[in-house]
Structure 1
Amino acid sequence: MRTATNRLRPGLVVLASLIVGAAFAKRALADAPSAPDPAAVERGREALLGRSFLKAEWADEAYKGVARFWDEPAPDPEKDPEGYARAFAKRYGFHPAPFPNDGLPMGLKRSVKADGKTRGMQVDCLACHGGSIGGTSYVGLPNTQIDYTGFFLDLFRADGRRTPLMPFVLNSARGTTNAGMMSVVLMSLRNTDLSSRTFPLAMGSNLPELDAPPWWVLKYKTKMYYDGRTPADSSRSIMQFLLAEKTAAEFEELEPTFADIHAYIQSIEAPKYPFPIEAESAARGRAVFEKSCAGCHGTYGETVDYPGEVVPLDVVKTDPARIEGLSDRFVEHYNATWFAAKHPVDVDSERGYQAPPLVGIWASAPYLHNGSVPTLRALLDSPRRPARYLRPPSTDFEHYDRRDVGWKAQVPAGAEVKEPRRLFDASRYGLGNGGHTFGDKLSDADRDDLIEYLKTL
């Protein structure tokens, strides 16, 4: 008889490496961040970009053969490996790696399967946190194209295996991820001493899919995750994706490596807005920002003064599922484990969403914690927000809206959608696009100027 753990294990191993997408979510601080140790940064860069921390989930043959399930021809993976890699990446929403990666797109890593012999691949944290914009790939840029569900189903089929049953929605539209529930499920299969369980604990959590945050904001924060309850200095919290395989002793052995990875992430800088900015309009917009936005989002100039404000739900009024879906039972269990021994989750803080730093905001569309708003203009003028829209077919600048700042939102005319995996539907659980109506009171002129200023951050 197969246990609950055995039925869940294949899916958890592959999905585990995506959990880090939520682990680097947010940080808050009053003073300018100190620069991390350059040696630690370099060690962390080499570890994150050059190592695989989990065993391969799929054999090389599955990667090369998955195109037989596509509805379009693909280059021959043997005769044209680079062409095949580009087609694979486009199909599933990965991006070219801006570092040596064995011919794979960013977000995948070569590894060896559990038998110790079979070569294959596994996803890593850059599947969520490795994106591109305008033809340039960036480590730390949210991946708004990733199609986890399509990728997951096809790769298991190509590997000749039954697709594991997932006990939660992984993602319903390109670019979202449910790293929170991955963590809940993996943690439910461990006792507080991190020994494995045969049957999962009942955690009582129901977290929704979300939009990944950019890594370059971590350096400004003292608290991370969207609820602002976990100290951002915790390198242990970013190790949760290893719960699919590692023992307690292995976690302790790897902790210094992940402290270095944490340092590397703190060193990442946001890309600069690549188009002309109207200076006079931006100067006026700065005054609008400092009057209307700085109290929660901080001030920007030579240094960033970020307050780390957690805005209560009854004030911000954005979709509450991420806050209400995390149970006290799960927090208590997490806080009793090794992960929280140095940096426990705050159990007494205000329940709400942490207003993020806005550095590089031009590049991190769509907006709100769940990616429900395609442009800054729609964020600042809530009646403009579409209830349903199609995520762009690529992150090339032809799909980028320079005036409204974000992604051009194609609104489907009818119920039938040719590419349903691109459809973002705000009626789905946790994906509501309401709240954050603070910009509605602005005049059109002030809103224009504010958007111009936000391009400069």
Structure 2
Amino acid sequence: MRRFPVPSIAWIYQKIIVVGRIKRYPPSVQRLIRSFALVLITSLLGSIVCAENPDSFTSVEASAEAIGGDARRGLRLLLETPLIPSDFDQETFDAVWQSWPEPLRSRAEQSTPEIRRQMAFERYGLTPRPAGLRDLDDRPDERPMQYVVDDQGRWTMNCLACHGGMVDGQPSPGAPNNRFALQTFTEEIRATKWILGKPLARMDLGAMVIPLGSTHGTTNAVVFGMGLMHYRDAELNFQPKIPGKFTHHDMDAPPWWHFAKRPYIYIDGFAAKGHRGLMQFMLVPENGPTFFSDHEDDFRDVYAYLSSLTPPKFEGEIDTAVARQGKVLFEEHCARCHGTYGTDGTYPNQRVPIDDIGTDRVRFDALSVSGRQKYADSWFAKTETPERRSIAAPDGYVAPPLDGIWASAPYFHNGSVPTLWGVLNPEHRPAVWRSDRLEFDSRDIGLRHEVVDQVPVIVSDAAVRRTYFDTRLPGKSRTGHDYPDVLTDLEKRAVLEYLKTL
């Protein structure tokens, strides 16, 4: 007989949610019921995961060279060490095709295990590990770059899930993963666990309440961090409490090769850069304060790895004469915010007031002053550069460096613009568009895409539906950054040609 230990919790949770949505209750009562469900699930899962997975974490030997860190060790840590409880096992992943809609499920059923694996990688935005990473150990290279897979076949998401994508058709650590289908993947893993009679993990249950991402390639990552910090004090002690109220919004992951240049992190630049700040997304209940202090040297290595990354070089054709013209125009109109490039290049770290830049402000408004201040007062913000303090009330977004900009589509912090030509031409930005995120547009530089009037309502496959980007939805606006309108079309083409060289 199959055992269903954790799904019974999911059943309780779902029943509470159903009751909480009964319309005869006023909204305040509905919210109270849902809050009670979240507290219940958080408490139950914390004890269950610890009990069922006492050895979920692989111990990592602290670096003997703590100061400065070692880039290679940092990469190995991300790829080989699970730092949070595992999400699912190999058997579940191998069977996930059973949760796919028809006719995809039948096609998978008739395929070999190798083909099914390729289909799953394509569906969820997973990539093989690049050849240059395969010498980190003697394991076969069937594992995706985006997950740690241990010797027991347990899969644990790592940072490369969002920050390990494709560049010109090749897997590239540090590139934004503009194909990652986190919401769809989680839903279908959860459904597969029900089929197999396996226990659910926190991600499976949390995704029922907190959206993980409504469009492939973007995630609700900021809210993850806010939610995790909500349950901690300044020294990272866990404090059970009623869930906070957050504004959900999807974000496009920034390229890691910008890390070395930026003294602050995040789109509004409110957090001073430091190795501790990189650890925030491990704030699950199982990781207490000692976990973070014990792994601090490891994240000096991760910091060193991020600092070592450089942008990829554009390998297509570049009209050097036109690019030289574009450089002059860029330095006249764009460099004040985005900096200059070359051997004597400088990056100004310029924050632009939100009303000036005019891009979607949901991300800006979603983080309260008190929420930012809580981070600023926490262990994470105590950096080795104490003169650089986190900012509780920034006034806008920071213009990013543009190194390797050609390789980081889609554009804007919410991923609302598929090409650089659209960035330079506000009137050419599509309202609703769809891309398979595989084909590169070498003319307009970015994602080759189709423009549609609206997301088709008849699409029953959630994975297909989430390939559409509707800029009319909250948090997904394509407006703003209209500064290039002072240029002619020929001048914009020259600037575009120059951007290929960065």
Contact preservation (8 Å) 1:4, 1:198: no
TM-score, length-normalised on structure 1? 0.86
Distance 2:481 2:280 in 1: 31
Identify which of 137, 140, 143 aligns with 2:171. 137
Q: 1:317 aligns with which of 347, 351, 358?
A: 358
Aligned-pair identity (%): 32
**Is 2:116 the partner of 1:84?**
yes
> Any idea what SS the aligned residue of 2:450 has?
coil
Q: 1:434 is matched by which residue type in structure 2?
A: T
For 1:352 and 1:9, how far apart are their aligned partners in 2?
A: 37
**Which residue identity does 1:210 align to in structure 2?**
M
Cα root mean square deviation, aligned: 2.6
Which runs of at least 4 in structure 1 moved beyond 6 Å after TM superposition? 9-13, 36-39
2:222 and 2:253 map into 1 onto residues whose CA distance is 11
Q: Aligned partners of 2:296 and 2:327: how far apart in 1?
A: 42
The CA deviation at 1:187 is 1.3
- Name which of 345, 354, 360 aligns with 1:304: 345
The residue identity in structure 2 corresponding to 1:311 is V
Shift of 1:201: 5.5
2:93 aligned to which of 46, 63, 73: 63
Task: For 1:238, give the aligned amino acid.
Answer: L
Q: How does 1:428-447 map to 2 (within 5 A)?
A: 428-447=473-492
Do the aligned residues in 1 keep the contact of 2:432 with 2:454 (CA within 8 Å)?
A: no
Q: CA deviation at 1:80?
A: 5.2
5+ long unaligned stretches in structure 2: 1-11, 13-35, 48-65
Residue identity matched to 1:354: V
Report how far residue 423 of structure 1 moved. Answer: 0.6
Q: Which residue of 1 aligns with 2:392?
A: 347
In structure 2, relative to structure 1, the CA distance for the partners of 1:12 and 1:68 (3 Å cut) is farther
CA distance, structure 2, for counterparts of residue 408 and residue 215 of structure 1: 23
Q: Distance in 2 between matches of 1:43 and 1:49?
A: 10
Partner SS state of residue 169, structure 1: coil
- Choose 67-76 or 305-314, whichever is displaced more: 67-76
CA distance in 2, matches of 1:207, 1:110: 30
| C-alpha distance in 2 between matches for 1:107 and 1:362 | 22
| Structure 2 counterpart of 1:150 | 184
- Report how far residue 10 of structure 1 moved: 9.3
CA distance in 2, matches of 1:5, 1:127: 27
Kindly tell me: are residues 201 and 151 of structure 1, through their superposed partners in 2, closer, same or farther at Cα, counting changes over 3 Å? closer
> Counterparts of 1:439 and 1:12 in 2: how far apart (Å)?
51
CA–CA separation in structure 2 for the residues paired with 1:95 and 1:59: 18
Question: Counterparts of 2:307 and 2:175 in 1: how far apart (Å)?
Answer: 13
Shift of 1:208: 1.4
Corresponding residue number in structure 2 for 1:409? 449
The answer to whether structure 1 residue 95 and structure 2 residue 127 are counterparts is yes
Q: CA 1:198 to 1:80, structure 2 compared with 1: closer, same or farther past 3 Å?
A: same
In structure 2, C-alpha distance between the alignment counterparts of 1:292 and 1:433, rounded to whole Å: 21
Structure 1, unpaired ranges of 5+ = 14-35, 113-117
CA distance in 2, matches of 1:295, 1:414: 37
Moved more, 156-165 or 369-378: 156-165
Report Cα offsets for 1:170-207 as digits up to 9, x if no partner: 211110011110011111122333222232453x5425
Give per-residue Cα distances to partners, 1:295-336, cap 9 Å, x unaligned.
Answer: 000000124310000000111010111111101221232233
Distance in 1, matches of 2:346 and 2:282, equals 34
Offset of 1:434 from its aligned partner? 0.5
1:278–1:212 CA distance, 2 compared to 1 (3 A): same
Find the counterpart in structure 1 of residue 234 from structure 2.
192
Q: Is the 8 A contact 1:188 1:200 kept in 2?
A: no
Counterparts of 1:403 and 1:433, CA distance in 2: 20
Match of 1:20 in 2: none
> 1:3 and 1:443, CA in 2 relative to 1: closer, same or farther beyond 3 A?
closer
User: What's the secondary structure of 1:109's corresponding residue?
Assistant: strand
Q: Whose radius of gyration is greater, 1 or 2?
A: 2
Distance change (3 Å), C-alpha of 1:439 and 1:123 = same
**1:287 aligns to 2:328 (yes or no):** yes
